[in-house]
Amino acid sequence: MAMHLASMVHGNVRERDAFQHAQHSPYYPAPPPRAYPGVNVNVAPQSYPAPAQQAEYHQYQRQRPQSPPSPPAEEQKPSLPSISHLLEFAGSEKAAAETVAQSPQSQQRQSSSPQPRQAQHRGAASMQQPPPPSQMQSSRPEQCSTYASVPSGSNPRMTLPPTPPMHPDVAHDGNQSPSAASNHSAASVPYFVGSSLNNMEPHHQRQSISSMPSVKRDSIPSHNVSPYSAASVYGQSPYASSPGAASATSYYSPEQHSYNAANMYAQRPLPSNFQPQAMPLPVPVPSPAANSSNPWQHHHYISTASQSQFPQSQDRYICSTCNKAFSRPSSLRIHSHSHTGEKPYKCPQAGCGKAFSVRSNMKRHERGCHAATSTTLTT
DNA sequence: TTCTCTGTTAGC
DNA sequence: GCTAACAGAGA
């Protein structure tokens, strides 16, 4: 159940991420629902359409996937349960869940009998799903849940090449709840998905970046409102109170993220790869000192298999914000300044006060603007 | 392998 | 012209 819950959270995080990246943001305002305003954690099965009506019900859901949450809360019952409820739920059903996970028969039973829950999750998914469910819902869930599976290096599926986003219907098979789907896809899909902006393989990232028509360097930050907006968004996210929020905040809290490039950029996939509490990851929260050997790569959640897919010495360091790849940690660190707005290099000239994010630029400025002054001073 | 410096490009 | 940002070369 912990995994279940974690996946659920994952799915939501990814979903949010997807929303953030969604082209059509009519759904972006959706997050509010995530505050679980009308979320009835105790959504009763009877509140869902009977099995015989599910098809129609789902049809209905699909036909109007784009319609934003409307006032009539009755129809929105199929929404995700709150974290708190999930926690409670996890506690009470943990044993049962474990049993289920271990027993295929139990899975069968679960997939066949708990229709209500299934419907519930489906309903929730449908309600929160942005228009293109095939991309939004199914793709995002995979990446981060895969991250969850990374630690288990024994998972053979991790070696599989990237697979296209699962079809929503497919994602619903088996244990079909979004969370279940996440679990399911987690194991079957590599940590990144092509549709994911933040979880692409470096070479893919480069491709995507290079393919970006005119990604002005200066334009990157604009798209990068993300580091902060993301931080704020996540900070406001209901998940901040979730068990995994600890790690999430550790990744995104602006405070930490200020200059801890190791935190911010090596963990780039964080939003989506948001690590649930149960993750047996070696080092969830990177300590530059602890990971001084290779802080960047480590936090990329790159499986050994994945690592072997691209050059070790080339652009290993990916900016978690804009996915830009760098071959050197220092480059990434400096680049991070462009996102954080940090300008650690201040002009030493008295009365100047100018600051730069790049040391060389500062020196250049010094030479250019204070050459006379400095020469005068030095001589 | 990484850092610093230099050169370059592009936006304002 | 100034600055941001990046890549390459050398240390």
Q: Does pLDDT of A334 surpass 80?
A: yes
A217 touches strand B (CB under 7 A): yes
Are residues A242 and A357 part of one domain?
Answer: no
Q: Does pLDDT of A342 surpass 50?
A: yes
**What confidence score (pLDDT) does residue A370 get?**
75
For residue A229, what are the β-bridge partners? none
In a domain, A32, yes or no: yes
Asked if A321 contacts A224 with a C-beta cutoff of 8 angstroms, the reply is yes
Residue A325 backbone dihedrals phi, psi, to 5 degrees:
-100, 145
For residue A174, the 8-state DSSP code is: T
In a domain, A271, yes or no: yes
Residue with tokens 């996970």: A101
In a domain, A308, yes or no: no
Of the ranges A88-102, A152-166, A280-294, which is most confident? A88-102
Asked if A1 contacts A205 with a C-beta cutoff of 8 angstroms, the reply is no
Residues A73 and A199: their CA atoms lie apart, in Å, by 35
Are residues A14 and A123 part of one domain?
Answer: yes
In a domain, A270, yes or no: yes
Are residues A174 and A53 part of one domain?
Answer: yes
Are residues A247 and A176 part of one domain?
Answer: no
Q: Average pLDDT for residues A224-235, to the nearest whole number?
A: 36
Are residues A250 and A373 part of one domain?
Answer: no
Q: What is the pLDDT of residues A103-112, one digit of tens each?
A: 434 333 333 3
Residues A249 and A234: their CA atoms lie apart, in Å, by 8
A218 touches strand B (CB under 7 A): yes
Q: Does pLDDT of A161 surpass 60?
A: no
**What confidence score (pLDDT) does residue A371 get?**
67
What is the band of A356 on the pLDDT scale with cuts at 50, 70, 90? confident
CA–C1' gap, A361 and C3, in angstroms: 8
Q: Does pLDDT of A136 surpass 50?
A: no
A338 touches strand C (CB under 7 A): yes
Q: What is the pLDDT of residues A282-325, one digit of tens each?
A: 333 333 333 333 433 333 444 444 444 444 445 668 887 787 77
Are residues A358 and A326 part of one domain?
Answer: no
What single letter denotes the amino acid at residue A379?
T
Share above pLDDT 70 across residues of chain A, in percent, rounded to a whole number: 14
User: What integer best gives the mean pLDDT of chain A?
Assistant: 45
Contacts of A354 (CB under 8 A, 6+ apart): A346, A347, A362, A365, A369
Of the ranges A87-91, A119-123, A154-158, A246-250, which is most confident? A87-91
CA–C1' gap, A97 and C5, in angstroms: 51
Residues A271 and A10: their CA atoms lie apart, in Å, by 9
Q: What does the buried/exposed string (b/e) look like for A170-199 if buried means 16 or more CB atoms within 10 Å of the residue's CB?
A: bbbebbbbbbbbbbbbbbbbbbbbbbbbbb
Q: Average pLDDT for residues A201-209, to the nearest whole number?
A: 39
What domain range is A236 assigned to? 202-207+220-283+296-301+314-340
Q: Which nucleotides of C are covered by protein (CB under 7 A)?
A: 2-7
Contacts of A264 (CB under 8 A, 6+ apart): A227, A251, A256, A257, A320, A321, A336, A339, A340
Are residues A106 and A27 part of one domain?
Answer: yes
Are residues A336 and A368 part of one domain?
Answer: no
In a domain, A56, yes or no: yes
For chain A, what is the domain count? 3
Q: What is the pLDDT of residues A232-285, one digit of tens each?
A: 333 333 333 333 333 333 333 333 333 343 444 443 433 334 333 333 333 333
Q: Does pLDDT of A184 surpass 70?
A: no
Asked if A210 contacts A54 with a C-beta cutoff of 8 angstroms, the reply is no
Q: Does pLDDT of A332 surpass 80?
A: yes
Nearest DNA or RNA nucleotide to A216 (CA to C1') = B10
Asked if A84 contacts A41 with a C-beta cutoff of 8 angstroms, the reply is yes
Contacts of A48 (CB under 8 A, 6+ apart): A54, A57, A77, A78, A115, A116, A119, A120, A123
Are residues A372 and A330 part of one domain?
Answer: no
Nearest DNA or RNA nucleotide to A357 (CA to C1') = C4
Residue A155 backbone dihedrals phi, psi, to 5 degrees:
-70, 110
